[in-house]
Amino acid sequence: MARRKKIYEGKAKTLFEGPEPGTIVQYFKDDATAFNAEKRDVIEGKGVLNNMLSEYFMTGLNNIGVPNHFIRRLNMREQLVRACEIIPLEVIVRNFAAGSLSKRLGIDEGTPLPRPIIEYCYKDDKLGDPLVAEEHIAAFGWASQQDMDDIVSLALRVNDFLSGVMYGVGIKLIDFKIEVGRVYDGDFQRLIVADEISPDSCRLWDIATGQKLDKDVFRRDLGSLTDAYSEVAKRLGVMPKGAVPMKPTLIN
């Protein structure tokens, strides 16, 4: 196979130049990291599950008119996406208190929030992705006021879609993170959902039992991460019952 040009290697994904200009191949790795990469492991099959699940959510979003970067899945570990300029923010949407919000404000995990809360973190691993306010975003030029309005609108549409899809399979969407990218269509620019949507970037609790089905299983040593992600995939019909995630393949 011809050697492809690697554009970027992140903690859970590697990006390669795509076959046509303006496209990128996203390769989902099995690496799991938490606490700003202080905790790390390789979880066999995680990349395959996240590739399939992200395809499922992004395709659904496309079908209801929420623009995103997904073009098509190429194989078990790779998908073709539209290249975009990533806005250096993690956009977090919360429906119930958990994680850093619970810690910061002393609210019990699982407490329903009176309305969805959107938070922004500045994407910088060296700084540990600090929480920032719209004031910082505008002042430092990471996004304009118009961009922020568009980001809120995208984030809330993703929230409604994901909450509904998850509710349909007995799962509560506690919170999630998205990333947003800028694309240019001629003279016009617009924002689209980018990166991935998977149990790595969501908190998902079983409605009946409260069992965690997301990356907290890894962060908090609660059992098998692949079992948790497989359960989500099975309920959504993304993975046939009993399917074993593929081992990593050598790609270069």
Residue 49 sits in the site that holds ligand UDP (CB under 6 A): no
| Strand, coil or helix: 119 | strand
Give the x-and-dash track for 196-215 against ligand UDP (CB under 6 A): -----xxx-----------x
Question: Among candidates 163, 184, 164, which has minimal Cα distance to 174?
Answer: 163
Closer CB to ligand UDP, 18 or 155, in the complex = 155
Stretch that binds ligand UDP, among 15-23, 174-182, 225-233, 242-250 (CB under 6 A): 174-182
Q: How far is the CB of 242 from ligand UDP (least distance, A)?
A: 27
Residue 179 sits in the site that holds ligand UDP (CB under 6 A): no
| Packed helices 145-168 and 46-63: angle between N→C axes, nearest 10 degrees | 110
Q: How far is the CB of 132 from ligand UDP (least distance, A)?
A: 13
Residue 189 sits in the site that holds ligand UDP (CB under 6 A): no
Residue 166 sits in the site that holds ligand UDP (CB under 6 A): no
Residue 177 sits in the site that holds ligand UDP (CB under 6 A): yes
Q: Which own/partner pairs from 60-63 qualify as long-range (CB within 8 Å, at least 24 positions apart)?
A: 60/161, 60/165, 61/157, 61/158, 61/161, 61/193, 61/197
Question: Among candidates 86, 101, 226, which has minimal Cα distance to 174?
Answer: 101
Mapping DSSP onto H, E and C, the string for 30-52 reads CEEEECCCCEEEECCCHHHHHHH
Residue 59 sits in the site that holds ligand UDP (CB under 6 A): no
Binding site for ligand UDP (CB under 6 A): 90, 92, 98-101, 129, 175-177, 201-203, 215
